[in-house]
Amino acid sequence: MRKDPVRLAPARRRLLKAGVGAGATLLAGAGWGAGPSSATFRPLSLHAPLLSLAALRTRVLDNGLELLTVPTEGSTVSVQVWYRVGGKDDPAGRSGFAHLFEHMMFKRTRYMANEQFDRMTEDVGGSNNAFTADDMTAYHCVVPANHLEPILWAEAERMSNLTVDQANFDSERAVVKEEYRQTVLADPYGRLFNAVPGLGYQRHPYRRPVIGNIEELDAATLRDVSDFHANYYRPDNAVLIIAGAFDAKRLDAAVDRYFGSIRRPAAPIPRSQLVEPRRMRDESHTLAASSASMPAALLIWQGPKAGSVDASAWALAQALLAQGDSSRLFEALVFRDQLAQSVGFEAQLNAEAGLLVAHAIGAPGRKAAALVQPLAREVQRLAEEPIRPEELNKAKTQLLTAALIKRQTPQGLGELLGTAALLRGDAAAAQRELQELQQLTVSDVQRVMRRDVLQGARVNVMYSSEPSAALGRA
């Protein structure tokens, strides 16, 4: 489970506890301290090898598999396979299937035993993991460079010869159900954050949480699972990303050898054609908290797609509102007014639609309803009041620092390319994001804030353990 303060989507195959923090950045993926408020932002040169993706090479095999490669110096290599299948592709009444297959892909294949992929990576000093999101399921590993070819064989084997049988289905379904119990049912605020997509989206399949639910997983059959695998786990629905130390000619030969012979199915890939409509009116909901010691409030607005020209502006707005202890929400609601003990804001921008989500977990003695207007006021202030140059520079510096650090490792480079390819439709967008961020101005941030927050309809969600709280619209 990737540590994510708002969206309780299953992310890592290893079970980790979801946190409730100040928010994560879109450009970086890691929370960074606020830094000194007097930080000075200076444009960076993007010609240094570590900062550039100029060596990115793209190739598409005859069977539709997309290959992205970026060579770097060093002794390790990252191998990643990103499938264009996520929670939005789960069949009706079968939520959690994409997440289920994240787990099943580590089971046996025609020529590999259960957990053999772990042995092929971890026993040579490497690592592997996977995550599922709304638009994708990604598998990644890092190994010494001289172990690249065996990993390519293993990934091709998982793609083409996975054993989808009742025993593997039953064992991994039990694991996913336990993950749901831990991250949604046992976590005091798990039910609240799990409800965000269902309350934020009106029609789009993003309404279904990626983690699924126990009832629909129990109702699934082996035939359901087999059909899902055949529909989405295929070369023309995948992106293979290699970043790190490799010889380009030997890599191309190995990719052709192991992946080139995998058949491209004749049937089209099933895709939903539903388009999320514009929300026309405000809504309010109250959710009953079974174990939360403090009440909470969530505010949800519609946001743009991840491929929008405004994605970087929303990353910057997110940092200004919720990045670190000196961010606007923390300063106002936690320090100054002492209304909340935890706050956050996240721009959840997916490939086909997006949400903007602010939250506050109340301080002792506060009520959920009393958090709504103060939280909304602080978000709206970013659109309406001046933003000091030093505040803007600090937020830019935070985002750029984290984004550049991510570029220092083969795994980080691969993740940047995969995210850009699947969310923005163009792997080269990973290179442009640095320039986009540097060029942002106060007017860019306030323009998207006015359009999406001030002029957009809002969903208010109150979460409380008080006896009067009940699930439903207020």
How is residue 14 annotated by DSSP? S
d(CA 175, CA 241): 28
Q: Which of 44, 45, 36 is nearest to 390 (CA)?
A: 36
Three-state DSSP state, 437: helix
Ordered DSSP codes for 311-362: HHHHHHHHHHHHSSTTSHHIIIIIIIS--EEEEEEEEEE-SS-EEEEEEEEE
How is residue 423 annotated by DSSP? H
pLDDT of residue 465: 80
Q: For residue 474, how many other CB atoms are within 10 A of its CB? A: 12
Cα dihedral 416, 422, 426, 432 sign: negative
d(CA 37, CA 57): 40
Do residues 44 and 379 lie in contact, with contact meaning Cβ atoms separated by under 8 Å? no
Do residues 226 and 169 lie in contact, with contact meaning Cβ atoms separated by under 8 Å? no
Global model pTM greater than 0.75: yes
Tell me the pLDDT of the chain (474 aa) as tens digits. Answer: 333 333 333 333 333 222 223 233 333 332 222 333 333 445 444 444 445 578 999 999 999 999 999 999 999 999 999 999 999 999 999 999 999 999 999 999 999 999 899 999 999 999 999 999 999 999 999 999 999 999 999 999 999 999 999 999 999 999 999 999 999 999 999 999 999 999 999 999 999 999 999 999 999 999 999 999 999 999 999 999 999 999 999 999 999 999 999 999 999 999 999 999 999 999 999 999 888 899 999 999 999 999 999 999 999 999 999 999 999 999 999 999 999 999 999 999 999 999 999 999 999 999 999 999 999 999 999 999 999 999 999 999 999 999 999 999 999 999 999 999 999 999 999 988 888 999 999 999 999 999 999 999 999 999 998 754 443 333
Starting at the edge strand found earlier in the chain, the sheet holding 283-288 runs 340-349, 354-362, 296-303, 459-464, 283-288, 472-473
In the block, tokens 């005859």 appear at 62
Cα dihedral 141, 143, 148, 149 sign: negative
| Distance, CA of 150 to chain centre | 29
| Distance, CA of 67 to chain centre | 22
Contacts of 3 (CB under 8 A, 6+ apart): 16, 18, 19, 21, 24
d(CA 38, CA 326): 12
The runs of H, that is alpha helices, within 270-409 are 311-322, 328-329, 369-384, 389-406
Phi, psi dihedrals of residue 13, rounded to the nearest 5°:
-65, -35
H/E segment holding residue 244: strand 238-244
In the block, tokens 């977990």 appear at 361
Q: What angle do CA 39, 2, 317 make, to 5 degrees?
A: 35
Q: Which two tokens stand for residue 213?
A: 């639910």
Q: Which of 327, 302, 306, 325 is nearest to 315 (CA)?
A: 306
> What is the separation, in whole angstroms, between the first and last Cα of the chain?
32
Phi, psi dihedrals of residue 68, rounded to the nearest 5°:
-120, 130
d(CA 100, CA 162): 14
pLDDT of residue 76: 97
The runs of H, that is alpha helices, within 289-368 are 311-322, 328-329
Do residues 180 and 211 lie in contact, with contact meaning Cβ atoms separated by under 8 Å? yes
Q: Which of 45, 71, 46, 66 is nearest to 56 (CA)?
A: 71
Q: What angle do CA 358, 363, 368 make, to 5 degrees?
A: 55
Do residues 402 and 29 lie in contact, with contact meaning Cβ atoms separated by under 8 Å? yes
Q: What is the dihedral of CA 107, 147, 230, 256, to 10 degrees?
A: -160
pLDDT of residue 30: 29
Do residues 77 and 143 lie in contact, with contact meaning Cβ atoms separated by under 8 Å? yes
Q: What contacts 24+ positions apart, CB below 8 Å, involve 365-368?
A: 366/294, 366/295, 366/339, 366/340, 367/295, 367/464, 367/466, 368/286, 368/295, 368/296, 368/297, 368/462, 368/463, 368/464, 368/469
Do residues 296 and 192 lie in contact, with contact meaning Cβ atoms separated by under 8 Å? yes
d(CA 208, CA 206): 5
H/E segment holding residue 216: helix 214-219
In the block, tokens 């172990």 appear at 147
pLDDT of residue 39: 39
Q: For residue 329, how many other CB atoms are within 10 A of its CB? A: 26
